[in-house]
Structure 1
Amino acid sequence: MLIGVDQESNTSIHSCEEIAEVPYHLQEEITEAYVIGYKGERIVIRNRLHNWNKPPTDFNKLDWIFYEKGIMRIGKIGNSIIRLIEADKMFEITVELLRRQPYFLVKNSG
C-alpha cells in the first residue's frame, strides 16, 4: 500500500530490478562483509551494492500498467491518494516486463 506517494516511493520495484537482472541497477564489484554467527563463527557475506551512478529511473511508468492489469486500486483517505497493489502480481508483471525490456524503467528509454 502506498499512502500519499506514487510509484517512485515503491522500493519493492528495486527487488524486481534485481530479480530481472537489469544491467544498470547493481555495481559490478562484489563487496564482502563479515558477521559473527550465534556460535561465534565468522560468516562471509558477499553482495553487490546498488549502483548510485545509474541512469535516472521512472517507476511511475508502471502506475498505469498496474491499474490496467487490475492489480492496483486507487482511493483516498483524507487528502491522501492510496494505491493498494497486489504485491505478488506486481512482482510477476514487473519482472517479466524488465526481462523483456531491461531499460523500461530508465527515464527517456521509450
Structure 2
Amino acid sequence: MYSKKDLMACLDQMGIEKEGTLLVHSSYKSIGEVDGRADTVLDALSDYMADGLLVLPTHTWRYISKDNPVFDVNKSPSNVGVLTELFRNRENTIRSEHPTHSVAAMGKEADAFTAGEYKHETPCARESVWGRIVDRQAQILLIGVDLTRNTFIHGIEEWLDIPDRMTDNYEALFSVLNSGEKVRVPSRRHCGLSWSEHFWKVNDLLIEEGAMKTGRFGDAETRVVDAQLTTALLTELLEKNPELFTENKPLEPEWRCYFRNKRMN
C-alpha cells in the first residue's frame, strides 16, 4: 500500500519540477492501493507542487451540448475521472470557465492561468490554458494513461488548423461564471472520429527525441511530457504531414529517421 510519502518520492524520481507547472491526466485505479485513497493521491500532488502550479482537467464535453447547453463552473461535474472531480471541489482550487474544456488549478498564478476561458470559441485555443501550458514550459504527467488521453495534442492540431478536426458551425453554449453571471459562449466543437485514439503512434518518437520519458507512480506506468518540446516536434511533423493522426496505424519509419538525422546533424 502506497503512502503520500511514497507517491511524492515517485514524482521526485521522475524529475517533476516542484516550482514549475504540472498538468495531470490520470487513471486513479492504475495507481494501486493507496493509504487514504484518492485524497492521498491529491495530497501528494498538491504538496509536491506547493511552490508551483498544479492543473487537472475538469472537462464537461461529454454532456454539455446544444441539448444541455449550460455549464456552471461551480456545479457541473467533471467527466474525466474521480481525481479531477475531487480536485475541483478542493479548497484553494480555481476552475476555469470554458463550457466544455475547463481545468482546475491550484498554486502559483492560478488566477491568471485560468482567467477569461469563457471568451474562447474553440476547445483548445492558443490563447487559452492549453497555449499557456506551452508558454509556461509545463510538464504533462500521464498517470496510467497514454497519449490518447493527452488533450494538449488536440490543441496543437487546432493551432495548425488541421482539416476535419473542428465543426464549422457554432453551438449556443453558456457558462455560469464564478461571479454568478451567465454568459453566452458560441462554441465550435471537436468533430469527426475520435482522432485522439491515434495519438499513440508518436509515443516512441517523443521518447527518442527527448520530449517524453517514462516512470512509475505507484503501480501506474507513467509518462512525463515536455509541453514545449512536444509542441515543436509535432508542429514540424504535422506541417509536413497534416494527415498524421488521420490513420490509426504506426508512424512510418521515415519520420523517425528524419528527426534522428536532423538531431545528429
> Normalised by the shorter chain, which TM-score bucket?
0.7 to 0.9
The normalised TM-score by structure 2 is 0.35
CA-to-aligned-CA distance 1:74-95 (integer Å, 9 cap, x gap): 1123321111111111111112
**Equivalent residues in 2 for 1:43-82 (5 A)?**
45-51=185-191, 53-54=192-193, 56=195, 57-82=197-222
The 5 A counterparts of 1:1-110 are: 1-31=141-171, 45-51=185-191, 53-54=192-193, 56=195, 57-108=197-248
Q: Structure 1 75/35 Cα, relative in aligned 2: closer, same or farther at 3 Å?
A: closer
The 8 Å contact of residues 31 and 47 in structure 1, kept in 2 or not, is answered as yes
Q: Let me know the Cα RMSD of the aligned residues.
A: 2.5
Return the alpha-carbon distance in structure 2 between the equivalents of residues 97 and 33 of structure 1. Answer: 34
1:18-39 Cα distance to aligned partner (Å, 9 max, x none): 011100110122445577998x
Maintained 8 Å contact 1:19/1:95:
no
Q: 1:99 to 1:33 in 2, by over 3 A?
A: same
CA contact (8 A) 1:26 1:49 kept: yes
* Structure possessing the higher radius of gyration over alpha carbons: 2
More strand by share: 1
Secondary structure of 1:105's counterpart equals coil
CA distance in 1, matches of 2:239, 2:224: 24
Q: Deviations over 1:55-82 (max 9, x none)?
A: 7450001111110101111112332111
Give 1:108 deviation, angstroms: 4.2
Runs of 4+ that moved beyond 3 A: 30-38, 43-47, 54-57
Question: Does 1 or 2 have the higher relative contact order (CA < 8 Å, sep 6+)?
Answer: 1
Q: Aligned pairs, how many?
A: 107
Is this contact kept in 2: 1:24–1:55, CA < 8 A? no
> Distance in 2 between the 1:55 and 1:23 partners?
14
TM-score, normalised to structure 1, is: 0.77
Identity of counterpart residues, as a percentage?
Answer: 26
